[in-house]
């Protein structure tokens, strides 16, 4: 059962602006794009993963270094990295017996930076 939105979130009059509605509807991304963006944002919505991503924003790191940075076991960090790699948020490269991780691309880097800047802004 859904409840009505709070009164302050509702219009007091019934008024539809057809041009604005048409413009907004035309700008909506397709369903696949919405699902992909939602999955991307869900991956970053976990505090542990956000810490890992923040660390990778600063430098390419291996699992053991990431574990030291975020204060978790290597196993726990590896699990999170598997999810992030599957979601195309991080990339990895092997150098001998060590696997290094980095943010996949500038979209990820910008999203992380913007999210953290926004959170800092709210605290100031």
Over the stretch 42-101, which tens digit does the pLDDT of each residue have? Answer: 999 999 999 999 999 999 999 999 999 999 999 999 999 999 999 999 999 999 999 999
How far is Cα 107 from Cα 89, in angstroms, rounded to an integer? 9
How far is Cα 63 from Cα 98, in angstroms, rounded to an integer? 8
Q: What are the tens digits of pLDDT across the range 104-115? A: 999 999 999 999
Query: What residue spans define the domains of the chain?
Result: 15-123
Q: Which two tokens stand for residue 78?
A: 């590896």
Please give the model's pTM, rounded to 2 decimal places: 0.80
Residues 6+ apart with CB under 8 A from 78: 63
The second-level CATH assignment, the architecture, of 15-123 is Orthogonal Bundle (1.10)
């Amino acid at each position: 059962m859904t409840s009505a939105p709070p009164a302050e979130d509702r219009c007091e009059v019934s008024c539809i602006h057809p041009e604005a509605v048409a413009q907004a509807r035309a700008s909506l991304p397709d369903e696949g794009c919405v699902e992909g963006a939602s999955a991307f944002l869900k991956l970053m919505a976990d505090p542990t993963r956000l810490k890992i991503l923040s660390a990778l924003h600063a430098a390419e790191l291996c699992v053991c270094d990431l574990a030291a940075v975020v204060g978790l076991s290597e196993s726990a960090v590896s699990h999170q990295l598997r999810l992030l790699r599957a979601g195309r948020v991080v990339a990895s490269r092997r150098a001998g017996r060590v696997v290094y991780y980095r943010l996949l691309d500038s979209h990820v880097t910008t999203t992380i930076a913007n999210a953290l800047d926004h959170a800092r802004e709210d605290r100031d």
